[in-house]
Structure 1
């Protein structure tokens, strides 16, 4: 059988965790999927899948082969697109990831415009408050906030944002405005972080930082929830400037201790290293970069 066909069938089974699911996805009969997997395992001389009457699981060799097959199939698709011409019309699926609030506020408008302009493109958007591994999870484009580790990914800087402390006018009128980071120990703290009972916030420049360790009265794992609590007058929280831009602009929140902020965090658009150029990826990155660079909220000075 054709090797590319076998890889496509195997990837479908591995991603669907089901022979029947792969058959529906590829519009093949279950028998054809079974023959393809058996032929691939016979060709390779290794067991890729463990099958029971209830489920299908990848073997260790199967997991490695699934990753390799994804990369090979993606490279083939990109090579075909490049051979069709650098100015070819974008088509096919584009996967994009960003954090939840950033994705909703800034990436979605670009996705909508991109889909309107290029009707042959389909987009899968994953807005998650965790770091997504582009290679392992098969993503084409990501927006990342913060300093980047060394990697094989290509990065395009498009802006910067600030970590800001904020509280509602009502709260500040009742409890006073902190003048120094140490004053926060006397205030109600709302932490948008993990479940640790204590948080440590760093202030100031790298060569002379001030560390303040606090016990939050409220700890949440959702930035939306932290913003709601701060706007509601419960206390003080530390968030990224773009997350509270609207609330600051309309007066529902005030920025405090701005003189003690750390240096702004860079915003990058990332995509996977490839020897071939993908038309849909290139054009989407160009559109997204132009939009972000021109947006006032992806700029560290918006609330000064």
Structure 2
């Protein structure tokens, strides 16, 4: 038994008043407790307890040693209480990473929860790239699309529909396409897709492999959104981004009878072991918020769709 464990055992013996009571509390035999105390005194080279058939009494050095051991035991108890509280109640700092397009949704999703838990702090990281969760000490990351292989833990929250959109000014110049292939490859905005997106007609089931070789390319979705709104091309936007602009009339949805693959949304955490309450509860709240957004489907709806 190492010295720290012996210090804790010694403090337990003093607090319980006898070796037998301490042994019962610690799930040990009385002889094992007595053996460890003798080993502690032998290593220290001093007597810590006066033993009699009726009672134990601290020596002078034992009294001073016990004060230090008791502080150690109290600190261990506080540490255990912190872990227990973290498992059952959100506290401390939640470091959350999300794509830029989610910036407007964190408040509605988590605002009420933060007000109910004033002991909780939120540190936000918005980035459309792939942040190293361990290096940035991220507790929870929202990720869209297909995930690369990693040792991280991923939980699917649902999916977002993707809609091809264009500004009225673009439509005035090019007209309204009736087929995805009628959009010139250079007029697509966003990242180049190789060989392209597979589009599927909702009624006939017919598929189109639509190439895209954008003249203006960017991996930053808010930038793509602004470029599309300015009439510089056609973009396949998530329902999350497109819905408010479609409602305002600054964008128009194209080819509604055609579908492109939905965009899966994931909650990614760097650890596979049991998550603290702040992470578990944030995932539930974000999943509930996602399910209420236009063109979004929660994971339960996705499961039903996959079973059909």
- The answer, yes or no, to whether TM exceeds 0.5 is yes
Deviates more, 1:125-134 or 1:140-149: 140-149
Whole-Å Cα distance in 2 between the matches of residues 215 and 144 of structure 1?
25
Q: Which residue of 1 aligns with 2:56?
A: none
- The 3 A distance-change label for structure 1 pair 223 and 150 is closer
TM-score by length of 1: 0.61
Query: Helix, strand or coil for the counterpart of 1:192?
Result: coil
- Native 8 Å contact 2:198 2:261 kept in 1: no
Q: Which residue of 2 aligns with 1:204?
A: 199
- Native 8 Å contact 1:82 1:276 kept in 2: no
- The 3 A distance-change label for structure 1 pair 288 and 120 is same
Q: Which residue of 1 aligns with 2:19?
A: none
Q: Which residue of 1 aligns with 2:244?
A: 246
Question: 1:72-98: per-residue Cα shift (whole Å, max 9, x none)?
Answer: xxxxx99764334743x4221111011
Whole-Å Cα distance in 2 between the matches of residues 80 and 151 of structure 1?
32
TM-score by length of 2: 0.60
Question: 1:244-279: per-residue Cα shift (whole Å, max 9, x none)?
Answer: 111112222112134443221221222233434412
Whole-Å Cα distance in 2 between the matches of residues 79 and 184 of structure 1?
62
Superposed displacement of residue 214, structure 1:
4.2
Q: Which residue of 2 aligns with 1:168?
A: 167
Whole-Å Cα distance in 2 between the matches of residues 271 and 111 of structure 1?
18
Question: 1:151-186: per-residue Cα shift (whole Å, max 9, x none)?
Answer: 44333332211232111233223321112222112x
Deviates more, 1:93-102 or 1:154-163: 154-163
What is the aligned-residue RMSD (CA, Å)? 3.2
Q: Which residue of 2 aligns with 1:72?
A: none
- Native 8 Å contact 1:78 1:278 kept in 2: no
Residue 109 (structure 1) aligned with residue 108 (structure 2): yes
Superposed displacement of residue 218, structure 1:
2.7
- The 3 A distance-change label for structure 1 pair 225 and 148 is closer
- Native 8 Å contact 2:109 2:289 kept in 1: yes
Whole-Å Cα distance in 1 between the matches of residues 206 and 148 of structure 2?
23
Residue 154 (structure 1) aligned with residue 157 (structure 2): no
Q: Which residue of 2 aligns with 1:55?
A: none
* 1:77-92 alignment, distance < 5 Å: 81-84=82-85, 86-87=87-88, 89-92=89-92
Deviates more, 1:107-116 or 1:159-168: 107-116
Q: Which residue of 2 aligns with 1:229?
A: 227
- The 3 A distance-change label for structure 1 pair 298 and 222 is same
- Native 8 Å contact 1:81 1:279 kept in 2: no
The runs of 5 or more residues in structure 2 that have no matched partner are: 1-77, 302-308
Whole-Å Cα distance in 2 between the matches of residues 180 and 85 of structure 1?
54
Question: 1:43-99: per-residue Cα shift (whole Å, max 9, x none)?
Answer: xxxxxxxxxxxxxxxxxxxxxxxxxxxxxxxxxx99764334743x42211110110
- The 3 A distance-change label for structure 1 pair 203 and 116 is same
Q: Which residue of 1 aligns with 2:261?
A: 263
Q: Which residue of 1 aligns with 2:305?
A: none
Whole-Å Cα distance in 2 between the matches of residues 120 and 256 of structure 1?
47
- The 3 A distance-change label for structure 1 pair 83 and 184 is same
Residue 145 (structure 1) aligned with residue 156 (structure 2): no
- The 3 A distance-change label for structure 1 pair 81 and 296 is farther
* 1:12-161 alignment, distance < 5 Å: 81-84=82-85, 86-87=87-88, 89-102=89-102, 104-149=103-148, 151-161=150-160
- Native 8 Å contact 1:140 1:272 kept in 2: yes
